[in-house]
Chains A and B, each alone.
Chain A
């Protein structure tokens, strides 16, 4: 048991309350500096917009959704959230590097194959991307940053995400347990 624990050492994470506390202070600080909360899916939206704009500029101009984010003389990637997402990558890399968690691998339950895991990851990503656009934000942008200012929209989004995740959890149990 003890040996096993040592081997699993790289899976020892921060105490969740400590992590949450630092996270809360970070949100506070973000609001104090910039007047808005954190976000993540916005960066991916910006990358999609810029990809579509380079591949098919006229299509991007004609589409009602892309054209919202296209400005003249300014790349769609030049937004706050893209810089923040870059920071997330750097920060994650630093933390992972410090505790030796960096390495190419596919993490999945021993009961399923890697292929199945990747297929579900893709499907989950598509759903999340779609949902995040409909709700105008993901767990960090809408739910967490919204809750920090008592936004009704943030609370409803949070309840909807976790409610439906619990409801669907039964169907995906084989993937995780």
Chain B
């Protein structure tokens, strides 16, 4: 008698468990489907966009270049033609269209270097930046103002007028020195420097290690 009762209780328990199991499995089928985001969350992306950290000024880049800072790579996102025409020293050309190809990814998706994107202004570089950020790539920044600004500030800095504060003059001197580093000849010293002004920034070979991603391997 008792045994039968126990059997009944047990049977009920198993039926309950089976029902829960079916409910859970059915829940998977019925759950609303959604498109999976590849990469970071939208909120995170938004906060990255707002952050001023994403821009780097031309002065900072010039400083890094002159000091031969090894920790960054410059990436030119314009097309090949403009790249062949003129680009920043040691820049790598990855046109916006090819940004998501496998070869480009090894440059963009790595933890070894900081990546600085630039184009003629910062419009295209911004697009590239958003794409990269969306995919969760780290340490990517945009050159503020792009190559146009580079010319305006570094290559051909505006001489401050007499009534400007002292900092402007300081800035001008550093920029002038930088521009001389990048090969601009100023009239007042052209006769001094002579032919030596055409010093090219030394070419740097950039090797990018593939980001270590250990694939899960076999069980047995």
A/B contact in complex, CB under 8 angstroms: yes
Per a CB cutoff under 8 Å, which of B14, B216, B218 touches A136?
Answer: B218
Against A, the Cβ 8 Å flags (1 = close, 0 = not) of B1-30 are 000000000000010010000000000000
Q: Are B219 and A37 in contact (CB under 8 A)?
A: yes
Q: How many residues of A contact B (CB 8 A)?
A: 20
Q: Contact between A137 and B220 (Cβ–Cβ < 8 Å)?
A: yes
Evaluate contact between B220 and A36: CB separation under 8 angstroms.
no
Assess whether B101 is interfacial by the CB under 8 Å rule: no
Number of A-B contacts (CB under 8 A): 37
* Residue A40 interfacial (CB < 8 Å): yes
Chain B residues lying within 8 Å of A39, measured Cβ to Cβ, are 218-220
For B219, list chain A residues within 8 Å (CB).
Answer: 36-39, 42, 81, 137, 140-142, 145-146
For the complex, what is the distance from the CA of A38 to the CA of B216, rounded to whole Å? 12
**In the assembled complex, B217 has its CB within 8 A of some CB on chain A:** yes
CB distance from B25 to the nearest CB of A (A): 13
- Fill in one digit per residue for B207-220: 1 if any A CB lies within 8 Å of its CB, else 0: 00000000011111
Alpha-carbon gap, A136 to B218, bound state (A): 9
Docked pose: A132 CA to B219 CA in angstroms:
12
Check if A103 is an interface residue, CB within 8 A of chain B.
no
Chain A residues, Cβ within 8 Å of B14: 17
Q: Which range contains the number of B residues in contact with the other chain?
A: under 10
B34 CB to nearest A CB, Å: 20
Contact of A141 among B17, B216, B220 (CB under 8 A): B220
Whether A138 is near chain B, meaning CB under 8 Å from some CB there, is yes
A63, CB-defined interface residue at 8 Å? no
User: Is the beta-carbon distance between B220 and A17 smaller than 8 angstroms?
Assistant: no
Whether A107 is near chain B, meaning CB under 8 Å from some CB there, is no
Smallest CB gap from B18: residue in A:
A17
A35 interface hit (Cβ, 8 Å): yes
Taking A35-B216, A40-B220, A140-B220 as known contacts, 17 extra A-B pairs with beta carbons closer than 8 A to each other, sorted by chain A number, are: A17-B17, A36-B216, A36-B217, A36-B218, A36-B219, A37-B219, A38-B219, A39-B219, A42-B219, A42-B220, A81-B219, A132-B220, A137-B220, A141-B218, A142-B219, A145-B220, A146-B219
Q: Which residues of B contact A (CB under 8 A)?
A: 14, 17, 216-220
29 residue pairs A–B, Cβ–Cβ below 8 Å? A17-B14, A34-B216, A35-B216, A36-B216, A36-B219, A37-B219, A38-B219, A39-B218, A39-B219, A39-B220, A40-B220, A42-B218, A42-B219, A42-B220, A81-B219, A132-B220, A136-B220, A137-B218, A137-B219, A137-B220, A138-B220, A140-B219, A140-B220, A141-B218, A141-B219, A141-B220, A142-B219, A142-B220, A145-B219
Nearest 4 A/B pairs, CB to CB: A141-B220, A137-B220, A35-B216, A141-B219
